[in-house]
Structure 1
Amino acid sequence: MEIWDYNLRHLAAVAQIARLGTMGAAARAVNLTQPALTQALARVEALIGLPLFERRHNGMVATAATDLLSPRIHAALDHAISPHVTTARMRALLALADGGGYLGASLATGLAVPTLHRAIKDLSLSLRKTLVQRRGNAVVLTEAGHALARAFRLARVELEAGLAEIEALKGREIRRITVGAMPLSRARILPAAVTRFLKRHPQVRIAIAEGARAELVEPLRNGVIDLMIGALRDPMVEPDLVQTLLFEDEPIVVARAGHPLAGKTPDLHALAQYSWVLPGRGSPLRTSWAAMFADAGVPAPPVPVESGSVMTIRQVLIDSDFLTLASPDQVAVELEARWLTSLGNPPGSFHRQIGVTTRASWRPTAVQAEFMADLVAVAPAR
């Protein structure tokens, strides 16, 4: 059952029954008659397939299903912003944002274009905001439309998480974890955590989206990704994101086997004589690398190739005298095969913090919390 089958007002009523404990108080809180509230509750229970409350003479007692679902409903409603938002309107705006236009939205949802038009228009009027505008033959979201689409995505994530938890309660595991993996995390810590976790939860599905931080941070903010693993930012200047340290990594200088510096302990002046391949500007590794030369008063060498891909870096090094900085875990196979060689740690103190980045508003499900615990368990000692 998809979240679009649910009435957002009915879900709000369920959350109010759980909070207030009686049908009468909840009916007043959501501005429904008590018979209408009873019908709303029956509808939600029929969709879920489980009782949400035990009816007693002194009120309504929440079941385990409600204990899982109610906090998710409250969180979703916080994101949904207005009581004028309905699941139909939410679905229409998200389909328009993802489909790039009304035709794409119609193809993705199966809803008629006039139906989508009407839902978007009603949403705009009720919120008194212009959400879309026409540019030539194209329809695009306004700034307000983009902001609302992000809020709706996060509301959808909350409701989907709540329904997935209830399906697990019924013995039908449909839960999924989506992980954004920056380059360093792919070498050891993420695979180790995944295999450890799946031994206990073989039915949970784990999707791994690989990329640089710049490619992953917006999907994280939009709820497409649950958590992101890789180098942390210091200082952290994004108030909507939270970082959790896993371990500190000490990169090594890496070159091809047979490099002129192989077998030596080169200083910064020697290292500055060669071109480098490094991640792009703004990455923690590149920033620390530049500071290393600047602090020593040594002009930084050129970086003709910018890449965070281990495969790309490996081939550039093998075919040239370029140098790079990398975690020993990232190049362990290449070092063992003797394609590459370590020139040791760079001069001075050089390390980077590796950890997990999540949304500040993120409420992990039970399995997501377990996966986080596995990441901590397989991380090297701090």
Structure 2
Amino acid sequence: MTIWNLNLRHLRAALEVMRRGSISAAAQAVALTQPAVTQGLARLERELGRPLFDRRADGMEMTEAAHLLLPRLEAALGHIASPRVTMAQVRALILVGSAGSLAEAGQAGGLSQPTLHRAVKDLSLALRRKMTERRGRGIALTEAGHRTLRAFRLARAELMAALTELQALDGVEVGRVAIGAMPLSRARLLPGAIAAFHRAHPDITVTIVEGSHAELIEPLRDGDLDLLIGALRLDHPPVDVDQRALFGDRPAIFARPDHPILAQTDPWARLGDYPWVVPSTGTPLRAQWETMFRAAGLPVPVVPIECGSALTVRELIRNGDFLTLLSPDQFVVELQAGVVAQLGPAPGDLHRTIGITTRAGWRPTPVQADFIAALVAIANSMGKVIS
């Protein structure tokens, strides 16, 4: 089933029954009659295909399904944060926020433009804040709309995880793992983990989105990605994420095999004589590159080409006098093939910490936890694990 079939009022009532142990107390908490709560629970259980409570004379006892559902409901309804919001309004704002226009949103969701417009308008009235505004011939989210959109996306992620965990009770594996892959993870760590995970969970979809930390952190915060893999931000860690170290990495300098610097008796003194291709300012590796020059007592040169793609960097250094600073893990195949040459460890104590970044308080589903275990296992096999 899909989360859009669920009724938020029924979910709120079920949550209060879980918390309070009785229908009468829950009915008072959600301002509904006891028959309305009873009917809502019955419909919710039919939609989920399982009982959530054992009805007893002394109250309502939660089933295993209810125990799984409880923390997900608390998180989802906490993000939505208003009993006046309906599931149709949640869906409408997500569609409009993702598509950028009513026409595209309607096409993506199979809904008419008037239906979407009315749902978003009703949401604005319910929350007493304007969600959208006219921009030319289209519409755009207001600042309040963007904040609400993020909250609704996070609520969606919690409810989707809830359905996944409930189906797992029947021995059915469904769901996905959505990964934000930063450059270093793509060479060995991520492919190895995905291969091992797929052997154990062939029916689970793994979605990989490549990009820099700056490009991936907002989709993570929105709940569109489950985790990021790559260099951690340890100097100035974001306050709304958790970071888990996997292994340490020492960057090295690379050039083409016949590069003139390889013939120098003191190549470190000539580092500033050749053009460099390195990632953009603000990335950990760029900071490491600048530190390298300062450690060697050399002025930091101007960078003619900024690039974080190992594939592009490889072709640039093969076809010119460019130098680069990268992890040896990113050029394993190229080194074995003799396509590039390594000058050696970079001057200074250069190192990065590679690991996993997740939203603060994120609770993985069982299959997502298994994927993280696969990442840890591959990191262990690489022999560079940080304990």
Range of TM-score over shorter length: over 0.9
Q: After superposition, give the CA deviation of every residue in 1:223-246 in whole Å (9 maximum; x if it has no partner).
A: 111000001113234211221111
**What is the alpha-carbon distance in structure 1 between the residues aligned to residue 309 and residue 367 of structure 2?**
30
Per-residue deviation, 1:118:
1.6
Q: After superposition, give the CA deviation of every residue in 1:144-202 in whole Å (9 maximum; x if it has no partner).
A: 10110011000000001101111222232211100000110011111122222223222
1:199 aligns with 2:203: no
Q: After superposition, give the CA deviation of every residue in 1:46-98 in whole Å (9 maximum; x if it has no partner).
A: 11111111112221111121111121111001110211111011111111111
**What is the alpha-carbon distance in structure 2 between the residues aligned to residue 85 and residue 118 of structure 1?**
13
- Alpha carbons 1:247, 1:353 under 8 Å: kept: yes
**What is the alpha-carbon distance in structure 2 between the residues aligned to residue 263 and residue 336 of structure 1?**
21
* Secondary structure class of the residue paired with 1:184: helix
Within 5 Å, give how 1:276-287 maps onto structure 2. Answer: 276-287=276-287
Structure 1 residues not aligned, in runs of 5+:
none
**What is the alpha-carbon distance in structure 2 between the residues aligned to residue 154 and residue 59 of structure 1?**
32
Within 5 Å, give how 1:73-92 maps onto structure 2. Answer: 73-92=73-92
Which residue identity lines up with residue 350 of structure 2 in the other structure? F
* TM-score calculated relative to the size of structure 1: 0.96
Which residue identity lines up with residue 236 of structure 2 in the other structure? M
* Secondary structure class of the residue paired with 1:329: helix
* Secondary structure class of the residue paired with 2:344: coil
* Secondary structure class of the residue paired with 2:329: coil
Instruction: Flag the 1:38–1:135 CA change in 2: closer, same or farther, 3 A.
Output: same
Instruction: Flag the 1:115–1:300 CA change in 2: closer, same or farther, 3 A.
Output: same
Which residue identity lines up with residue 311 of structure 1 in the other structure? L
Paired position in structure 2 for 1:292: 292
How big is the alpha-carbon RMSD for the aligned residues of Structure 1 and Structure 2? 1.5
Q: Which moved more, 1:363-372 or 1:282-291?
A: 363-372
Paired position in structure 2 for 1:331: 331
Within 5 Å, give how 1:13-92 maps onto structure 2. Answer: 13-92=13-92
- The percentage of counterpart residues that share the same residue type is 53
- Alpha carbons 2:295, 2:348 under 8 Å: kept: no
* Secondary structure class of the residue paired with 2:84: coil
Q: After superposition, give the CA deviation of every residue in 1:193-231 in whole Å (9 maximum; x if it has no partner).
A: 222222322222211111111221111111111000001
**What is the alpha-carbon distance in structure 2 between the residues aligned to residue 150 and residue 139 of structure 1?**
18
Paired position in structure 2 for 1:349: 349
**What is the alpha-carbon distance in structure 1 between the residues aligned to residue 243 and residue 52 of structure 2?**
35
**What is the alpha-carbon distance in structure 2 between the residues aligned to residue 52 and residue 266 of structure 1?**
73
**What is the alpha-carbon distance in structure 2 between the residues aligned to residue 324 and residue 65 of structure 1?**
53
Per-residue deviation, 1:295:
4.3
* Secondary structure class of the residue paired with 1:243: strand
Paired position in structure 2 for 1:381: 385
Per-residue deviation, 1:377:
2.2
Instruction: Flag the 1:264–1:63 CA change in 2: closer, same or farther, 3 A.
Output: farther
Q: Which runs of 4+ in 1 moved over 3 A?
A: 263-268
- Alpha carbons 1:8, 1:86 under 8 Å: kept: yes
Q: Which moved more, 1:45-54 or 1:265-274?
A: 265-274
Within 5 Å, give how 1:202-221 maps onto structure 2. Answer: 202-221=202-221
Structure 2 residues not aligned, in runs of 5+:
none
Per-residue deviation, 1:269:
2.2
* TM-score calculated relative to the size of structure 2: 0.95
**What is the alpha-carbon distance in structure 2 between the residues aligned to residue 48 and residue 27 of structure 1?**
21
**What is the alpha-carbon distance in structure 1 between the residues aligned to residue 148 and residue 156 of structure 2?**
12
Paired position in structure 2 for 1:110: 110
Which residue identity lines up with residue 40 of structure 1 in the other structure? G
Q: Which moved more, 1:38-47 or 1:61-70?
A: 61-70
Paired position in structure 2 for 1:130: 130
